[in-house]
Structure 1
Amino acid sequence: MKHAVPRKVVVPAFQLTRECEFDKAGAVERRFCDNPSESSCNAYHYRPSSSDQASAWNLFAFTLDSKWRPWDLATVYLLEQVQEVKRPEMATYHALADDLGAYRHWLDAQQRQDLLFHFPQNMQERVTYRYYGHLKNQVFLGVLAASTAAHRMQTVIDFYKFLAKAEYFIPEHPAWKARQVSLAFKTKYGAQVVENVATTDLRIQAPKASDAFRETILDGGELRPLTSAEQGWLLDALLAIGNTEMYLLHWFMLATGARIQTACTLRVGFFLGHPHAFGCRLVGGQKVVKLKCGPGTRIDTKGGKNGILQIPLALFEAMQTYAYSDRAKTRRRGAKGGDHQNQYLFLTNRGQPYYLGKDDAQVFDPEHKSSYLCDGGTVRKFVSDRLLPAIRERHDPQFHFKIHDLRATFGMNCVDLMMPCVQKGEITLSTVLGTVQELMWHSSLQTTERYLNYRSRIQMIYAAVDGYGQQVQAWIAGANSLGGSDE
């Protein structure tokens, strides 16, 4: 079986170096032989380009051509992009390297050495328009998602902008037609704003299909709140599987609304007897432990947002018991840095974090060996390979969920707990709205309102589907009553 040629390769540790004299401080000798059988070899000396970490990264991605060779121009572009950011998140540049790899493989398939900078008078013959046509055709054939095609095209546009600015080439004719468009949108405070943005005639539209009958909430993606029964299935299956870390992770996300990067970057020190802030949960009246998350806490949040999680006391005590367990201690001792207060609470059996924290990702480690990006992939694989099959076998063969659905489930649980109080007149809907917004760290009230409207919207959807189904049955009955008339 022929394997697909990779579009990129990720290097565990990469540092920019420059050639130097042998007597320079920090000089390292590198020897190479033209013929391995010869006893004498050539040598040169090099040292890091910079003494700080501005030119050294873990998990740097190189774009490959169709012969598995690094593409020099793409490498220069990626280096430029990474060096412009103080705290680069490498997943972003992995995506750019992959986009450029797809472009380079397409170029190689055209078998024209001059195509990269081919911008003749005929617009449709220019390389950028030809690639645009290729991507559009891929979308039309269903080979490529429109969003993927749009991202790849934009990466290629930005790549050529960089090459032109750096004077790697001067196009004979414009690579695209630029234009200004006006975009109207609402701020998080509800104000209407119109902004002029630059675009090109190579922009690929990727409109999202609107499903009036969707059973999801739009909150950083399409999320489906689990029913009470489904939540029971989930926890029962996790208990049956017996993976302690996965059980506590899922329980934590379900009970606090935390995202996966927050749950996976919890630090063990918080659970090892330090003084804590206790209080009553905003809903349910349970005793909770308050945990600050965000910049300065080493616990990651989306967009670097600061927030407080309310951990039910029973869950906190279970996690504290785990933190003191021999199982957890063994994993910490096998982790990088060993067992210390800032170590991750949850680690794999090899001592690896499930999600590498942003602060840790910025520290260059020349001894880093893995090219794997720790971004929750292990948790998602557990869900797809073990958790979902277990639930489907025990309960519902059609059951589905993704890890982020636990956040929406938490939000709906909060609403459902408070609505009886609204019906009794003890609190107002505006109190519910503010409470859920605070618990879920929503910047926009519009997002929170989707949780309040979810139940009524779903009821209307079911009513509409049932009503339409009854009408269809009536039409079928009417058609059957016609019999086999020949008229």
Structure 2
Amino acid sequence: MIDFYKFLAKAEYFIPEHPAWKTRQVNLAFKTIYGAQVVKNVETTDLHIEAPKANDAFRETILDGGELRPLTSVEQRWLLDALLAIGNTEMYLLHWFMIATGARIQTACTLRVGFFLGHPHAFGGHLAGGRQVVKLKCGPGTLIDTKGGKHGILHIPQALFEAMRTYAHSDRAKTRRRAAKRGDQQNQYLFLTNRGQPYYLSKDDARVFDPEHTSSYLCDGGTVRKFVSDRLLPAIRERHDQQFHFKIHDLRATFGMNCVDLLMPRVQKGEITLSKVLGTVQELMWHSSLQTTERYLQYRSRMQVIYAAIDGYGEQVQAWIAGANSLRGSDE
């Protein structure tokens, strides 16, 4: 709006009798994608809209393309156990893949079957611990979608890769591919519904008009999200915790925290440096900004401080209650 009124004044369509705002110069400090500190001089005004903020001291989230909540190791076990009990193979592998690689939903759902049916793959060492992995290129030119068209490499643990290869060769997967548009061929989606529809339509396919795609769920992973809300969450809540909640993108943050938890003991032993952890997690999660990666390293310590403070206050409250009860007893 300020730019709009500046334009009006410059064009002499509207010139206010009195100054509409006061301007001043401020310096904004931020970090580049390489971690260098940069200061930029900008002009600001005294106009702003007050928006009250409710700061939650117990906020268990990390800001990474949204507020993400890493699942604890216990919650991850609940999740995979519930998926096994439900018995939907595609959903089980999708969730396992996202937890194990940090892939976003559009990446996991646009994997192509040819990668898992093709020539034998060489297994390399995982960046976060030396485990055996298969590397998969994603982004433009690979048919596998990424956010913002970014190029990246996913590190798939060998056990997960073998499970997905077995699925790709299964009669269940072949039946779904035969029912799909373009049939059973190398560039077909690995994961399809029982009607042969993709869970997430790739950008290339979305550009081609197809009157048969009548369900809105087919376009952006809605089928997966509906499965989570209608079947997965109720199953976990019934078995474990009525208050349990998560959204599909939380699995990305879960992967990031799993990497940090795996590497930090090596830092404490002096085997690697903290900067090595930062660089490794940044590479595994395709972060453009080191500042985003730093939030993962700070998460555990931040939560420990918060809960230590609350626990200490709780003990003090109990002491006050005990003191009040003793006084009441003496009065009686």
TM range (shorter): 0.7 to 0.9
Local SS of the residue matching 1:327? helix
Residue by residue over 1:40-94, the C-alpha shift from the partner in whole angstroms, topping out at 9 and shown as x without a partner, is xxxxxxxxxxxxxxxxxxxxxxxxxxxxxxxxxxxxxxxxxxxxxxxxxxxxxxx
Match of 2:128 in 1: 283
Match of 1:399 in 2: 244
- Unaligned stretches of 5+ residues in structure 1: 1-153, 155-159, 161-170
Cα distance in 2 for partners of 1:345, 1:483 equals 70
Match of 2:65 in 1: 220
Out of 27, 32, 39, which is 1:192 matched to? 39
Match of 1:12 in 2: none
C-alpha change, 1:420 and 1:485, in structure 2 (3 Å) is closer
Say whether the 8 Å CA contact 1:289–1:316 is kept in structure 2.
yes
Cα distance in 1 for partners of 2:244, 2:97 equals 21
Deviation at 1:351, TM superposition (A): 1.4
Match of 1:316 in 2: 161
Say whether the 8 Å CA contact 2:216–2:222 is kept in structure 1.
no
Aligned partner letter, 1:317: E
Deviation at 1:180, TM superposition (A): 7.9
Q: Select the structure of larger CA radius of gyration.
A: 1
Match of 2:317 in 1: 472
Say whether the 8 Å CA contact 1:187–1:193 is kept in structure 2.
no
Deviation at 1:426, TM superposition (A): 1.1
Cα distance in 1 for partners of 2:161, 2:126 equals 13
Cα distance in 2 for partners of 1:394, 1:384 equals 15
Cα distance in 1 for partners of 2:25, 2:91 equals 47
Local SS of the residue matching 2:216? coil
Deviation at 1:464, TM superposition (A): 0.4
Query: What is the correspondence of 1:180-259 to structure 2 with a 5 Å cutoff?
Result: 184=28, 186-188=30-32, 189=35, 190-195=37-42, 209-259=54-104
What is the RMSD computed on CA atoms of the aligned residues? 3.2
Out of 121, 137, 155, which is 1:292 matched to? 137
Kindly indicate whether structure 1 or structure 2 has the higher relative contact order, using CA contacts under 8 Å at least 6 residues apart: 2
C-alpha change, 1:335 and 1:246, in structure 2 (3 Å) is same
Deviation at 1:267, TM superposition (A): 1.0
Say whether the 8 Å CA contact 1:226–1:409 is kept in structure 2.
yes
Match of 1:343 in 2: 188
- Normalising to structure 1: TM-score of the pair? 0.59
Cα distance in 1 for partners of 2:322, 2:208 equals 71
Deviation at 1:320, TM superposition (A): 1.0
Out of 370, 375, 378, which is 2:214 matched to? 370
Out of 260, 270, 273, which is 2:118 matched to? 273
Deviation at 1:479, TM superposition (A): 4.1
Aligned partner letter, 2:151: N
Aligned partner letter, 2:309: A
Cα distance in 1 for partners of 2:258, 2:78 equals 16
Say whether the 8 Å CA contact 1:421–1:427 is kept in structure 2.
yes
C-alpha change, 1:196 and 1:295, in structure 2 (3 Å) is farther
Deviation at 1:276, TM superposition (A): 3.7
Cα distance in 1 for partners of 2:203, 2:24 equals 35
Say whether the 8 Å CA contact 1:226–1:406 is kept in structure 2.
yes
Aligned partner letter, 1:219: D
Aligned partner letter, 1:385: D
Local SS of the residue matching 1:403? coil
Query: What is the correspondence of 1:337-486 to structure 2 with a 5 Å cutoff?
Result: 337-365=182-210, 367-370=211-214, 372=216, 374-481=219-326, 483=328
Structure 1 stretch 409-418 or stretch 211-220: which is displaced more?
A: 211-220
Cα distance in 1 for partners of 2:25, 2:68 equals 30
Cα distance in 2 for partners of 1:360, 1:179 equals 51
Cα distance in 2 for partners of 1:466, 1:181 equals 45
Cα distance in 1 for partners of 2:77, 2:166 equals 23
Residue by residue over 1:188-211, the C-alpha shift from the partner in whole angstroms, topping out at 9 and shown as x without a partner, is 3432334458x9x8x866565432
Local SS of the residue matching 1:225? coil
Match of 2:7 in 1: none
C-alpha change, 1:296 and 1:179, in structure 2 (3 Å) is farther
Cα distance in 2 for partners of 1:339, 1:485 equals 83
Cα distance in 2 for partners of 1:195, 1:260 equals 37
2:149 is the alignment partner of 1:304: yes
Deviation at 1:441, TM superposition (A): 0.8
Local SS of the residue matching 2:243? coil
Cα distance in 1 for partners of 2:250, 2:25 equals 34
Cα distance in 2 for partners of 1:179, 1:376 equals 47
Query: What is the correspondence of 1:323-342 to structure 2 with a 5 Å cutoff?
Result: 323-342=168-187
Aligned partner letter, 2:180: A
Aligned partner letter, 1:226: L
Task: Name the structure with the higher helix share.
Answer: 2
C-alpha change, 1:393 and 1:181, in structure 2 (3 Å) is farther
